[in-house]
Amino acid sequence: DQQVKQNSPSLSVQEGRISILNCDYTNSMFDYFLWYKKYPAEGPTFLISISSIKDKNEDGRFTVFLNKSAKHLSLHIVPSQPGDSAVYFCAASDSGAGSYQLTFGKGTKLSVIP
Amino acid sequence: DTGVSQDPRHKITKRGQNVTFRCDPISEHNRLYWYRQTLGQGPEFLTYFQNEAQLEKSRLLSDRFSAERPKGSFSTLEIQRTEQGDSAMYLCASSLEEYGYTFGSGTRLTVV
């Protein structure tokens, strides 16, 4: 049973346009959410996070939106750049569990076309 | 270099052999994690150390797997009697704060 789902395996976007990556979760105990970016042959790199007490967090070109009632979050990248081409992973955590372990989705491969 | 270092980067082994991977975390980080990533999947949690204490293990970590973090510094992950299903990328991460993970580049294991 997948507790974090990224239903789009891939996404292609024109340079300069908005990229929207989606993520759904099923575990209502999750209260902290993160997005990671991964290039081939490298480990995941942290991008942005959001606590369940917020519904939006912004950092430069990256914004994460959280809809707790729908158990849905999304990552917006505006404007998209060719260097953003990578696999993006959504991750969730139950901060009350103590270990701060992450449950990841399967990832979405973003291709930004020049 | 202040990142998380993993060694080796690649390991090819025959089924039934034992393998050991090493992770050197960022020196001041007291938390250390091991994750496993198979093709087409996201990373899956294996185990967690706070300093030298192994505080949590996933049910994915069968009795063929053992992890240590002596003296709260580097960590090793050993797989005994490897099986083809163990082929994966093994990722180590360390953190000081709750979610301040820094991942290493991983060790890619291929069991033939």
On whether any CB of chain B is under 8 Å from the CB of A96, the answer is no
Residue A57: in which H helix or E strand, if any?
Answer: strand A56-59
The residue of chain B nearest to residue A107, with distances taken between CA atoms, is B42
Q: Which of B29, B90, B103, B107 to mutate to test the interface with A (most CBs of A within 10 A)?
A: B103
**Closest Cα partner for B59 from B77, B45, B43, B76?**
B45
Using DSSP bridges, classify how beta strands A32-38 and A10-14 pair: parallel, antiparallel or unpaired: unpaired
- pLDDT, tens digit (0-9, with 9 covering 90-100), for A58-106: 999 999 999 999 999 999 999 999 999 999 999 999 988 878 899 999 9
Tell me how far apart the alpha carbons of residues A79 and A98 are, in angstroms, rounded to a whole number: 37
- Band (pLDDT 50/70/90 cuts) for residue B71 is confident
Strands (E), chain B: 5-7, 10-13, 19-24, 31-37, 44-50, 53-57, 65-68, 75-79, 88-95, 102-103, 107-111
Q: Is A96 helix (H, G, I), strand (E, B) or coil?
A: helix
CA dihedral (A42, B3, A46, B8) in degrees, to 10, reads 30
- pLDDT, tens digit (0-9, with 9 covering 90-100), for B20-65: 999 999 998 999 999 999 999 999 999 999 999 999 999 888 899 9
Local structure of residue B98 (DSSP, 8 states) = T
